[in-house]
Structure 1
Amino acid sequence: MKNYFFVLILVTVSTFGYAQGCSDAGICSIGHGFQSDEKELKNSVGIASVFGAGEADVTYFSPFISYTRKINENWALSSKVTFSSANGAFGTSTSLGDAFLSGNYTFETKNNKQWSTLFGFKIPFTNSDFKIDGKSLPLDYQSSLGTYDLFIGGNFKYNNWDFNSAIQIPVINNNKNSYFKEFSGTNDFPSTNRFERRSDALFRTTYTLKTANKKFIFKPNVLFIYHLGEDSYETIQGDREKIKGSDGLTINGNLLTTYVINNHNSIELSMATPFVIRDIRPDGLTRAYVVSIQYNIIF
């Protein structure tokens, strides 16, 4: 009973909190991967719709599709393609976002303990330079940050607990954003001309709860995301200037609820909201909340 009371508290916090949601640069969602107790099922397809609200009344609709192939008992390969539509005072910007490719290796379980590792890439479909009516848009309206990123992570599972950590490193920066707040008529968003983003490090703790009939699975989790340095942009004079306060810690609360229809189909509802945020988030990842619903097909 205490465990389900904890879930209820987290749902309440996730619904009514306000600040920055999970980093949609990708580090929060990597490793979701193939999850099935059926050993003979090798493939998983996920179709999701993600809804969020950001700064200055910007709203987001960000669907994605994912595919995971379980090669054997140890190896799995995953891919995901994202799409984003941002709407606000500047107008509506819609485009493909990023492609994610990752591999996961799971070691043999011993004494209810299991280790796994992850390695992956993020590939952008845009250079983060979309405009509306010839006007440059801040990163809040862009569907991608325009960077090729590397992911490295690991997970430790013990009984119902999961502890995982990861780092997301921008390897190639192809960001060609040209937004200056001085020419925009608003101070809602910082200047991000030729934006350069620093790396992120993540640590997450997850506890899994299942109902007696195993139809419902609850996974409350807490994420600690540390932005490893201050981001920067290119000034009008051509100098590179750091954005003070853009580094530091974000703490997010998330609840993932899964309804298992049968061995081949399930529906997931995810709700996330922050408890601690950075002083300034020029990368456009600010969210008041993030709610997503995903349909999974396993075969």
Structure 2
Amino acid sequence: MKKIISILILMNAFIIKAQGCSDAGICSIGNSFHETEKEVKNALEFGSIFGAGEADVQYLSPYATYTRKLTSQLALSAKVTYSLASGNFGKRGQFGDAYLIGNYDWKTKKTAKWSTMLGAKFPFTRSNLKINGYSLPLDYQASLGTFDLIVGENLNYKQWDFNVGLQLPVFDINANSYFKEYSGTDKFPSTNLFKRKPDALLRATYTYKTGNNKFTFKPNVLFLYHLGEDSYETIFGKRENIDGSDGLTINGNIISAYHLNKNNSFELSLATPFVVREIRPDGLTRSFTAGIIYKIRF
């Protein structure tokens, strides 16, 4: 228990201006597939995430997820997100993305358990919300405006979970028209007709439960690599790469859960980054994120 508390204190000390997690979605889905009891077929999850970003932008991002266990091995999840961003440009909120995710738990008699995730992300917006007719940077947008393919693999070994994943933009409807040259500030890079590269993920999670099973602590570390430089279209119609937008992000996260009973629980999640990309034009910049989540299974 002392080690868990020490990790939490350490994470709160690392409040730096950087990416807290991938709002594109890959690091926040498909994590609870094998938590469901065998006799339970349905699960609902309601959460709200608060985040602080660059240039004093603040975020409130509620979401809802429904999971249906179709067989002892196969489950389907549907998730809908909303994002409210506020800062010097003003305040803007809208529904962001919908996710449809399938999880398959492979049969095994060994201590090591494997599961596979396959899904897709669908945007509700073309990422061109405006305030008073003025284009906004991606930091204020509720979605990146891409249809994404999401694949992942999970290995559960005793109290450890290891995840690998890939989020690949397949179809792009991004219509953002923000140019920093005409915005009066250079705090956000130009993202006119923005095109985003894929993300690859590696995560390790350790699960600790108290003797009465009322509390669960899950410290984890996440490595997120952006596979290439993003690009935008200049005012002359030429596509240019955004230097420094590729590379590695390393996040620290801890999830603390209180179980009211075997089918109802509350969770508190705190995350902050340790290593970041040089430039983050996609608007996913966070100095930290904090979330509260309610889960019910029936």
Alpha-carbon distance in 1 for matches of 2:114, 2:56: 42
Provide the residue aligned with 1:75 in structure 2: 74
Structure-2-length-normalised TM-score: 0.97
Provide the residue aligned with 2:283 in structure 1: 284
Provide the residue aligned with 1:120 in structure 2: 119
Once the two structures are superposed, the pairs formed by residues 193-208 of structure 1 within 5 Å of their partners are 193-208=192-207
Alpha-carbon distance in 2 for matches of 1:37, 1:81: 21
Q: State the Cα distance separating 1:35 from its structure 2 match.
A: 4.7
Alpha-carbon distance in 2 for matches of 1:9, 1:239: 50
> Do the aligned partners of residues 37 and 122 (structure 1) sit closer, same or farther apart at CA in structure 2, a change above 3 Å counting?
closer
> Letter of the aligned partner of 2:293 in structure 1?
Q
CA displacement 1:119-173 (0-9 Å, x = unmatched): 0000000000000001000000000000000001101111001111000000001
Once the two structures are superposed, the pairs formed by residues 252-291 of structure 1 within 5 Å of their partners are 252-291=251-290
CA displacement 1:58-86 (0-9 Å, x = unmatched): 00000000000111210010110000000
Q: Tell me how large the CA RMSD over aligned residues is.
A: 1.0
Alpha-carbon distance in 1 for matches of 2:78, 2:229: 30
1:237 aligned counterpart, secondary structure: coil
> Letter of the aligned partner of 1:162 in structure 2?
D
Alpha-carbon distance in 2 for matches of 1:240, 1:38: 51
Contact 1:75 1:106 in 2 (8 A): yes
CA displacement 1:26-51 (0-9 Å, x = unmatched): 01012124454531111000111110
Contact 2:33 2:103 in 1 (8 A): no
Percent identity over the alignment? 59
Alpha-carbon distance in 1 for matches of 2:203, 2:279: 22
Provide the residue aligned with 1:166 in structure 2: 165
User: Are 1:218 and 2:217 matched, yes or no?
Assistant: yes
User: Are 1:13 and 2:25 matched, yes or no?
Assistant: no
Q: State the Cα distance separating 1:15 from its structure 2 match.
A: 1.9
Q: State the Cα distance separating 1:107 from its structure 2 match.
A: 1.2
Q: State the Cα distance separating 1:13 from its structure 2 match.
A: 2.6
> Letter of the aligned partner of 2:193 in structure 1?
R
Structure-1-length-normalised TM-score: 0.97
Alpha-carbon distance in 1 for matches of 2:74, 2:52: 36
Provide the residue aligned with 2:230 in structure 1: 231
Provide the residue aligned with 2:142 in structure 1: 143
Matched positions, count: 296
Contact 2:75 2:104 in 1 (8 A): yes
1:194 aligned counterpart, secondary structure: coil
